[in-house]
A and B are shown apart, each in its own frame.
Chain A
Amino acid sequence: MDKNFLQSSLKDSLFTGLIALALFGPIVGLRTVAVNEALVVQPKWLVVALIVAFCAIGRFFINIYSFKKEQRRGEPSSLGKAISNFLDTKGSQIALGAIIFSVIFPFMPFADRYWMDIAIMMMTYIMLGWGLNIVIGLAGLLDLGYVAFYAVGAYSYALFAIHFGWSFWICLPLAGLFAGMFGILLGFPVLRLRGDYLAIVTLAFGEMIRILLLNWYTLTKGPDGLTGIPRPSFFGLPFKRYPDEGVETFHTFFGLEYSPMQRIIFLYYLILVLALITNFFTIKIRRLPVGRAWEALREDEIACKSLGVNPRNTKLTAFAVGAMFGGFAGSFFATRQAFISPESFTFIESAIIVAIVVLGGMGSQTGVVLSTIFLIGLIEVFRDFESYRMVAFGGAMVLIMIFRPKGILAKRKPTITMVKEK
């Protein structure tokens, strides 16, 4: 390490410190606080000094480190390689193990209310991720408004259940159907747009649905949301401590002690089954002509057109199927929460689901599970640092894209090959 190099990296880290000062000086250092209706500025120079020092020193060490590792640049990290290699070869065993683990999970000794809630939330995101994976991963359509279908599913479930009193098992397919129809309706005009435009238009649709839900007061109760959505029952047996006259409940039917956990465990299995249905559907449809057409379309649209694949109809089916699973997940969400409002269907939800799919490695079903555990886990770990957890979440998105731009599980096995794989 010669003197020149030290000097230049010192200069570089000084420059970094200067930039950090410009970045954090006004926004962090001068916090605006309302005092008697007027804003005053509260200086926080110590925090800024610490951040700037951290950036400058960090940059200095990165410089020295990267100088030492100069020749190793450009190579994929061995750890990542090992992980993806492991997942490639042992994929089916891991998947089986994961399914078995998730089936016995509620009976684990540590699985209390908190863990079950997290597990249910993760399962919901996994299901949404698998649903969106059909649209993004298989058909290659970037949909930034997926939460719209989730919302349509939730609201149609809630409205059917509240106004008509239909049971969960009738409302669920109806909500899915409704969301799927919505997918066709929205997809019809916009699916001929190219990637980035499609992303923005779907984003706009997602926001439009939310604004509509917020303002159509007579139907959706606007920002107040819909309350009193019926809880699901175990094939007609409700989960209640004190049931209505003449109604048998779950715990009396099976002769069990009443416990609120029974309902939670039932909900957990419900979403597990729904998610697995989504997964098996995707695995099966990939081998069918329509699934193959989706993947072909993702790779080369012009080639597909010249081979007689109708791009619009093919994309539309992907959009509708993805929307349908979003609708299923939405109805589950509605019945689990028993309360929904437009607040739950903001753009950030879409962003989280897209992040799950892309960070997992587009088209990879196992990748969706891994990235859900990682991202939702990250949000959960940072739960006590309310506003920092989303900073960490966004930062993780950027970092994963920089270091593994194709996602955690980047390797994609073709579903169909001409030659047998050796």
Chain B
Amino acid sequence: MEYFLQQLINGLTLGSVYGLIAIGYTMVYGIIGMINFAHGDIFMVGAFVALISFILFALTAISLPIVLILVLLISMVFTACYGWTVEKLAYKPLRKSFRLAPLISALGMSIVLQNYVQAAQGARIKTLQPVIQGGFNFFKESEFVVTLSYLQIFIVLVTIFLMAIFTLLITRTALGRAQRACEQDRTMTALMGINVDRTISMTFIIGSSLASVAGMMFVMYYGVIDFYIGFLAGIKAFTAAVLGGIGSIPGAMLGGLLIGLIETFWSGYISIEYKDIAAFSTLVIVLIFFPTGFLGKPDIEKV
């Protein structure tokens, strides 16, 4: 029971990170119908920006809460630049091209980002000293002490907060309306006087900044990153997006939580070596039995 509770806490924390990345996939897929392969690497860039800013702020005497907010904002801004540039350089010229072209271009962009960060920052793993320490302990008298660290609370709270802002953005603002319109019919939206290019750019900016927050959480939670983390995290987040129903934003969050839980329970109870296989098999099983995911709309092929 105590062990189960601990896994649940860990799984929810991990799930928040995946959920934040998954939103980027699902939004881009919804609006331009492509799998943004480089999104996982955008997440990795976000983690690096966060790491660098943490190291820089460690030299100053700014108090911890302000540092956290500053790092959050800095990594969001800089990573959003990456998302924006990737879209402008690699996807925009291919918008009217055939189906596989943007996917290949995204694959190339992913290779570029990974190796560029490797070249600029070195191939060795980077470790960060714990930023937030301590936590609550439960069941102190039992054999297995359940720990809920402050960091985990921070991660889940920030995720919930960002999700709330993001949902408001999508449902209540003009930008959100434009985005939803673009998802339905891009040509018609353009005829209605909405700048489709700008809306798509904004989608990439929002998706990348959410991914950068995930990157910041990741570097704080694990304390270890390298240039390759984006690949696995990217696939898992994509799995989460598919699980929740690609194109559906609440679905992405739900899928992220589920993938996080599946992964932690699998490594907690079955085998830690094969934890990635758990995520991948989930992807295969979901696609075979629920091709539209849990909250997705059925996709009817018309002649």
Interface residues of A (CB under 8 A from B): 19, 22-23, 25-28, 30-34, 38-41, 142, 189-190, 193-197, 199-201, 203-205, 207-208, 211-212, 214-215, 302, 347-348, 351, 354-355, 358-359, 362, 387-388, 390-391, 393-398, 401-402, 405-406
Contact = CB atoms under 8 A, between A and B. Distances in A.
B235 A27 contact: no
A39 B283 contact: no
B33 to A, nearest CB: 8
Contacts of A38: 129
Contact of B104 (A40, A197, A200, A355): A355
B135 interface: no
B104 A397 contact: yes
A351 B111 contact: yes
Interface in B259-273: 273
A69 B24 CA distance: 37
B118 interface: yes
B218 interface: no
Secondary structure of the B side of the interface? helix
B112 A395 contact: yes
Interface residues of B, number: 70
B85 A27 contact: no
A19 B235 CA distance: 28
Contacts of B291: 193, 197
A26 B274 CA distance: 35
B189 interface: no
B8 interface: no
A34 B94 CA distance: 41
B98 interface: yes
Contact of A215 (B84, B85, B112, B274): B274
Q: 3 nearest interchain CB pairs?
A: A397-B108, A394-B111, A394-B112
A348 B288 contact: no
29 contacts: A19-B84, A26-B52, A27-B45, A27-B120, A30-B52, A32-B121, A34-B126, A193-B291, A196-B103, A197-B287, A200-B283, A204-B283, A205-B284, A207-B235, A215-B274, A358-B100, A362-B100, A387-B119, A388-B115, A390-B115, A391-B115, A394-B109, A394-B110, A397-B105, A398-B89, A401-B101, A401-B102, A401-B108, A402-B94
Between B77, B90, B108, B284, the greatest number of chain A beta carbons within 10 A of the residue's beta carbon is seen for B108
A362 B97 CA distance: 14
A196 B34 contact: yes
Given A196-B35, A196-B103, A197-B291, A387 B89 contact: no
A215 B273 contact: yes
A358 to B, nearest CB: 5
A16 B236 CA distance: 34
A260 B281 CA distance: 46
Contacts of B35: 196, 199-200
Given A142-B103, A211-B274, A200 B49 contact: no
A22 B81 contact: yes
Given A31-B120, A388-B119, A406-B98, A348 B103 contact: no
Contacts of B239: 204
Nearest to A200: B238
B55 A41 contact: yes
Interface in B201-238: 231, 235, 238
Contacts of B102: 401
B112 A391 contact: yes
A168 to B, nearest CB: 32
B198 interface: no
B208 to A, nearest CB: 12
Contacts of B18: none
B56 A189 contact: no
Secondary structure of the A side of the interface? helix
Contact of A39 (B45, B107, B110, B126): B126
Nearest to B299: A194
A131 to B, nearest CB: 18
B277 interface: yes
B242 interface: yes
Contacts of A205: 280, 284
Given A199-B103, A394-B110, A30 B56 contact: yes
B112 A33 contact: no
Nearest to B279: A204
Contacts of A31: 120-122
Interface in B78-99: 78, 81-82, 84-85, 89-90, 93-94, 97-99
B78 A197 contact: no
Given A28-B120, A394-B112, A208 B105 contact: no
B127 interface: yes
Interface string B9-50: 000000000000000000000000011000000000100110
B111 A390 contact: yes
A241 B52 CA distance: 56
Interface string B112-135: 111111111111101111000000
Nearest to B74: A26
B56 A41 contact: yes
Contacts of A406: 98
B126 A190 contact: no
A185 to B, nearest CB: 12
A398 to B, nearest CB: 4
B108 A398 contact: yes
Between A38, A194, A391, the greatest number of chain B beta carbons within 10 A of the residue's beta carbon is seen for A391
A397 B283 CA distance: 27
Contacts of B93: 402
Contacts of A393: 108, 111
A26 B239 CA distance: 30
Nearest to A386: B119
